[in-house]
A and B are shown apart, each in its own frame.
Chain A
Amino acid sequence: MATSGSTRPVLAVENLSTHFFTRDGVVKAVDGISFEVMPGEVLGLVGESGSGKSITGFSIMGLIDPPGRIVSGSIRLNGEELVGLDDRAMRRFRGRSLAMVFQDPMMTLNPVLRIDTQMMEAVQAHEAVSDKAARARSAEVLAMVGIPSPEERLSAYPHQFSGGMRQRVAIAIALIHRPALIIADEPTTALDVTIQSQILAEMQRLCAESGTALVWITHDLAVVAGLADRVAVMYAGRIAEQGKVDDVLDRPIHPYTHGLIGSVPGARMHGARLAQIPGSTPSLGRLPPGCAFAPRCPRADAACAEHAPSIAAAPDGRAYRCHRPMLIEEVAR
């Protein structure tokens, strides 16, 4: 799964900003983020609640609704620009080359429609095939995600499935058209720990088999450590630091990443949540002029509060935004 320099990225996000124009002012939910995902690669997108992870995912899917809007930047999928496409054009990508799995499996399936209806319509949205073929394909992907006797289960309603099973159905739907990229927005957060790890392992295997790239959004650094090739750490709508998982987790450059890792009790214990850095996430409507992390940052100095740091590159290829990076000398070695 390693990134090779010669291949083109599946997804290239450049300087993306998505803002919400609310009555109380502009909320810069995503503010100038850039990252790439290579074919078959798993990118972990981590950050505290409200840091803009989901909005990043929805921006890529073209599912930002008013009062929100992508105000600038570029999103290229296999080289094709998605920003600026109208809904009709965007629909050709959604569910076909680009799929998404949501956080809460109890809410993602329509309660009054049978599973077969919801799967077959997904097949037929992009392929003019018969009902029979659509059904067969639906059963096939259900079997892939480990649902026993898929033929029978197709006729069931969502409420007849457990949470874990529903999430498998949602994953199956995402896999139907063998997408180039799946955005998984905390798909296991709402599930039991044992089921979490099963689904995690299965999804990793399925994506590896089909060469599907994965953007895995999560609170859980342990998940990122076990699953991702690279990680991007978000804070207040920006990417604080991104790079190879081992580099970032073992030798964080950004004080925020450092705080996150320190906040996991017993070093990367599974299932731990990240919120123990002193202070709380700033309100995105009223960010300080300088570095958004400055009020909580142990290394902050006067410059930090005045100028927002721009993106810098570390010698090992990591990108970060910080005036006073940690361990940068060590990284250079």
Chain B
Amino acid sequence: MLAFIIRRLAQALVVIVAMVVLVFFGTHVIGDPVWMMVPGDATQEQIEQVRREFGFDQPAYIQFFRFLGDVMQGEFGRSYVHGESAITLILERMPATMELAFAALVLAVVIGIPLGLFAGLKPDHPLSRGIMAASILGFSLPTFWVGLMLIMLFSVMLGWLPATGQGTTVEIFGIRTSLFTLDGWKHLFLPAVNLALLKVSLVIRLTRSGAREASLQDYVKFARAKGLSPARIVGVHILKNILIPIVTVLGLEFGSLVAFSVVTETIFAWPGMGKLLLEAIQRLDRPLIVAYVMVVVLLFVTINLIVDILYSALDPRVRLTGSQA
């Protein structure tokens, strides 16, 4: 198990270094960063000065190592727009995004698995057909449209839930979160549902096909032949098997939840880093964009690592090959 983790850590490191190189090329080699840093009417003199000041006159490899050094220290410069450290800005907003993404993930699992199990175990039941039809809808409706409809229905027409912001937050270990107030939950609900919709559909489909396949296996028949209750067979024998693909896919999809949250955060004015990114792109705030990209890369890599470990914990066959290799 230890060898397995070390191997995966090494792989993660390779991915991060590759990303650093890509980002470096994107921002230092393909474009000239100086043009983004000087006012439009700057003289040649001023431009050269900025170039020297920031070391852009140095050979590319020296610039790269400086960039690498900065990245490793978490130093991405100051945001042009906000005038604050870019990384601090991103990290400040990250908890709100993570909170939203986690809430969506939990919703996807809590709603998706039971519905998927039902549809998979009783494929001919009318309710199963309804579930599948709904999941197709969930796949095909655009996130922003659903978001607007949710606001229309629950905030404007029914007035049950607030449409924007994070609501009352509490600070826990220095992180602001809306998970500990009722008002926070109310604010979280609509954006989380909006963000979860696609993943609920995905989990339903994964669970259904997994349950259908597993329920036809000999080991399920053998479990029945032992006299086990249906609850035990479904809850242990079938679920444990289908959890493997679900955990894997959902883990990998968590990254896309963070990415998609850009749309949801914008619609619901959720103060996360997605909303920040959109503003940064609009104003060409380079340090902020670079910081966001690196933070997201790190996030993806970490998630993949966790998924790998979870996967091997769930599937004994993987663990064996992992430790032997």
List A residues at the B interface (Cβ < 8 Å).
61, 63, 87, 91-96, 99-100, 102, 104, 107-114, 117, 121-122, 125-126, 157, 159-160, 170, 173
Contact = CB atoms under 8 A, between A and B. Distances in A.
Contacts of A107: 217-219
Contacts of B222: 100, 102, 108-109, 170
Interface residues of B, number: 24
Given A91-B227, A95-B225, A170-B222, 13 more contacts: A94-B224, A94-B226, A95-B226, A99-B225, A107-B217, A108-B219, A108-B222, A110-B237, A111-B219, A112-B244, A113-B236, A125-B232, A159-B316
Interface of B: 217-219, 221-230, 232, 236-237, 240-241, 244, 314-317, 320
Contacts of B244: 112
A306 to B, nearest CB: 40
Contacts of A160: 320
B241 A121 contact: no
A92 B237 CA distance: 20
A93 B227 CA distance: 7
A159 to B, nearest CB: 5
A121 B221 CA distance: 15
Contact of A100 (B217, B225, B317, B320): B225
A91 B241 CA distance: 23
11 contacts: A91-B227, A91-B229, A100-B225, A102-B222, A113-B237, A117-B236, A122-B226, A125-B232, A159-B320, A160-B320, A170-B222
Contact of A108 (B218, B230, B241, B315): B218
Contact of B317 (A102, A108, A157): A157
A63 B225 CA distance: 8
Contacts of B315: 112
A114 B236 CA distance: 12
B320 A96 contact: no
A159 B317 contact: yes
Nearest to B240: A112
A116 B219 CA distance: 15
A159 B227 CA distance: 24
A94 B241 contact: no
Top-9 shortest CB links A-B: A95-B227, A107-B218, A94-B227, A95-B226, A157-B316, A110-B219, A122-B226, A108-B222, A125-B227
Kindly name the residue among B221, B224, B236, B314 whose own CB sees the greatest number of chain A CB atoms within 10 A. B224
Contacts of A92: 227
A111 B319 CA distance: 13
Contacts of B320: 157, 159-160
B316 A111 contact: yes
A109 B315 CA distance: 14
A104 B223 CA distance: 14
